[in-house]
Amino acid sequence: MIHEVDHVLKGLLRGGVFSGTDVEVSFEAPSRDWAARRNTPTINAYLYDIREDTERRQRGAVSVKDAQGIVLKRRQPPRWFRLSYLLTAWTKRPEDEHRLLSAVMATLLPHEVLTPSELTGALAELGLSVPITIGVPPAESRSLADIWSALGGELKPSLDVVVTAPFPAVPEYAAGPPVTEGAGVRVRGLDGSLDGSPERHHRP
């Protein structure tokens, strides 16, 4: 599922104001070695943190239905995880990097909620909308200075982008066949017999 979130995020960036440009989108760690190898304008989206959004956790079972509304199987509600990306721009001049970051904001801000039609693969099959936050400070346990220190690079202007995505919980259970016939009811007379008692059918 993480790779599908990567695919969606890359599609948003490549399909926005960067469409038709030579700006690349990379998910590699922006270390010193990586920075030394790049030779084109690049937007780096580094996934630095994955943690469950426990406030979204649900109990019970979810029914999976076909086009006719018939229950095919039941499964546990999906678990939601916050995927935190550090977005940075890499060019030869700081002014150009600032322009790229502005373009990233202009591209992502209109997409703060992704509908199932904008998603792909198993992520789309869940039929759930996926929220995105842009520029919200990271969790207290992860400061940007610590992240850059761990990468061995210099502190750069960045955007913190968080995609909260559902991950299916297993196992799934096949549902039994649907009831297609209603119950038949007959009423006994005072003598206890069913003679002359018509059978009444009830819808399932």
pLDDT, tens only, 36-90: 898 999 999 999 999 999 888 877 666 666 677 676 677 678 889 999 999 999 9
The pLDDT assigned to 153 comes to: 74
Q: What type of residue is 189?
A: G
Contact 113, 130 (CB under 8 A): yes
The pLDDT assigned to 48 comes to: 92
Please report, in angstroms and rounded to a whole number, the separation of the first and last CA atoms in the chain: 39
Here the contacts of 110-116 (C-beta below 8 Å, separation 24 or greater) are 111/12, 114/8
The pLDDT assigned to 57 comes to: 83
- Give SS3 for 109: helix
Averaged pLDDT score across all residues of the chain:
84
The pLDDT assigned to 112 comes to: 92
Lowest mean pLDDT among 12-16, 56-60, 93-97, 182-186: 182-186
